[in-house]
Amino acid sequence: MGTQLGMPAVRPSPSTPEISPPEAAAPGSGSTAAVSALPSPASALALSPADGLLDRHGRRATDMRLSLTDKCNLRCTYCMPAEGLNWLARDKVLARDEIVRLVRLGVDRLGVRELRLTGGEPLVRADLVDIVAGIRANHPELPISLTTNGLGLDKKAQALKDAGLTRINVSLDSLHPDTFAQLTRRPFLDRVLRGVEEAARVGLGLVKINAVLMRGINDAEAPDLLEWAVSRGFELRFIEQMPLDADHGWTRDGMITAAEMRSLLERDFVLTPDSRERNGAPAQRWEVRRHADPATVVGTVGIIASVTEPFCAECVRTRITAEGKVRSCLFSHDETDLLALLRSGVDDDAVVRRWQEAMWGKPKAHGMGHTGLGDSDYVQPERTMSAIGG
Ligand SMILES: Nc1nc2c(ncn2[C@@H]2O[C@H](COP(=O)(O)OP(=O)(O)OP(=O)(O)O)[C@@H](O)[C@H]2O)c(=O)[nH]1
Ligand SMILES: C[S@@+](CC[C@H](N)C(=O)[O-])C[C@H]1O[C@@H](n2cnc3c(N)ncnc32)[C@H](O)[C@@H]1O
Ligand code: SF4
Ligand code: SF4
């Protein structure tokens, strides 16, 4: 990875003697010692503009994940309650121009190098194409990707491509209509498949497919999903279920682990580690070969093992919710309101400063001082995945 804005490579912390050196957990290392004392406000004040979105553990966020809405037209069991949530009023959600400004500050002032638009379901926003076009006008080279459930994508894919969207990830947990409906509580499999095909046709590729594997529901389908994806040139990623559901139904023993995923896939395929740099990405990639033809790589599969093989030590993400709040970690319990600041009429410097301070306080891992989703001291955030922005 190169650097931007003349920033130095990641260094431990701003030069404040009271700050301890970086101590992020090694990936897959399980629990680690608790974080030492939180920095005083004076420590965060030592940040300079060139520090970008540096945190007190020595990581610098360059990957901005922006939620466009909390609304969704599916009700995936691992994400939303059946009855939906109390949707935010329109004036509580970032408007197009506010989004464009935040991205501009992230990219031009804070070293953001890639942008993901997510939700809720971003395609339910009527001004989505206009948002993408507004961002693209300021940043001709920025990779802009979208994570979506694919509903309505068949009608919007071309316009999104024309507006400057780079790539798309579509969530699809099953190719069986009944299983799809059981997981999403909606009978819309055909519509999602139409969306995926259209995204590929218009060139919103490499299309990636996200599948959360749920025990006894779609886990046995894993090899068939992979066969479907590789035969179409899509990159499938299997995701470990995380404790972010509204129903608090997650259990450590109930989830399908990355190790189980690999052994499920070995029924039909040989997996070997992909040698490409991971660069802080959640997915660990594997090359895929069929048993029948072990000499030929037919595609790549990703495994996103947030629970059993966490990657927090390499985390490069900063999140903004649909209400314009910074969440330094997916599992944070703190949020920093940038929208109120934007609407109070402050200048760019003040917004940049607040964003930096929010990221400086990023927890070490999983919203706390060590990795361990589901550990006795893990506290599930109040927001569900859809309301955070997955
Ligand atoms: N623990 C953890 N999991 C994450 C984080 N970001 C994404 N994920 C998981 O990764 C899944 C896929 O996220 P995507 O929105 O497709 O993004 P991505 O994998 O970063 O995307 P690409 O850059 O296209 O590979 C999400 O559903 C989450 O389960 C994160 O910051 N922390
Ligand atoms: C919250 S959704 C938002 C974007 C869009 N609605 C979609 O489904 O792609 C983003 C991703 O989060 C994943 N996700 C939701 N809840 C999850 C959970 N509890 N554990 C792991 N991944 C989850 C979904 O599978 C999806 O790939
Ligand atoms: S995972 Fe995406 S599509 Fe499913 S309920 Fe959550 S926000 Fe909606
Ligand atoms: S759980 Fe938090 S620290 Fe870990 S990878 Fe996700 S956002 Fe980063």
Residue 25 above 80 pLDDT?
no
pLDDT classification of 14: cutoffs 50, 70, 90:
very low
Greater pLDDT, 10 or 369? 369
Angle at 50 between CA 113 and CA 362, to 5 degrees: 70
pLDDT of residue 43: 67
CA-nearest residue, atom 11 of ligand 2: 390
Query: Residue 63 corresponds to which amino acid?
Result: D
Residue 345 above 90 pLDDT?
yes
pLDDT of residue 31: 30
Phi, psi (rounded to 5 degrees) for 317: -105, 140
Residue-wise pLDDT for 309-331, tens only, equals: 999 999 999 999 999 999 999 99
| pLDDT, average across residues 230-254 | 94
Pocket residues: Cβ below 6 A from ligand 3: 72, 74-76, 79-80, 119-121, 149, 171, 385-386
| pLDDT, average across residues 121-138 | 98
Please indicate whether residue 77, judged by its CB atom, sits closer than 6 Å to ligand 2. no
Question: What's the gap in Å between 38 CA and the centre of ligand 4?
Answer: 18
Q: Which atom of ligand 3 is nearest to the CA of 75?
A: 5
pLDDT of residue 271: 98
Greater pLDDT, 331 or 5? 331
pLDDT of residue 16: 32
- End-to-end alpha carbon distance in the chain: 24
239: tokens are 């995701």
pLDDT classification of 355: cutoffs 50, 70, 90:
very high
Residue 1 above 60 pLDDT?
no
Phi, psi (rounded to 5 degrees) for 186: -145, 145
Cα distances (Å, whole numbers) of residue 39 to 21, 54, 102, 327: 12, 13, 26, 18
Q: Strand runs (DSSP E) across 181-247, as ranges? A: 208-212, 235-239
Q: Which atom of ligand 1 is nearest to the CA of 329?
A: 31
Residue-wise pLDDT for 260-291, tens only, equals: 999 999 999 999 999 999 988 999 999 999 99
Q: Which atom of ligand 3 is nearest to the CA of 80?
A: 5
Question: What's the gap in Å between 279 CA and the centre of ligand 1?
Answer: 13
Helical H segments across 52-211, by residue range: 96-110, 128-138, 153-163, 177-184, 189-202
Question: What's the gap in Å between 270 CA and the centre of ligand 2?
Answer: 27
pLDDT of residue 383: 87
Residue-wise pLDDT for 373-389, tens only, equals: 989 999 999 888 998 98
Q: In terms of Cα–Cα distance, which of 151, 147, 139, 150 is closest to 119?
A: 147
140: tokens are 């001709």
pLDDT of residue 247: 84
Pocket residues: Cβ below 6 A from ligand 1: 116, 118, 145, 147, 169, 208, 210, 239, 281-283, 304, 306, 317, 330, 390
Please indicate whether residue 69, judged by its CB atom, sits closer than 6 Å to ligand 2. no
Residue 32 above 60 pLDDT?
no
pLDDT of residue 176: 98
318 appears as a binding residue in the annotation: yes
| pLDDT, average across residues 147-152 | 98
Q: Strand runs (DSSP E) across the chain, as ranges? A: 53-54, 60-61, 63-67, 114-118, 144-148, 167-171, 208-212, 235-239, 269-273, 283-290, 293-304, 317-320, 325-327, 336-337
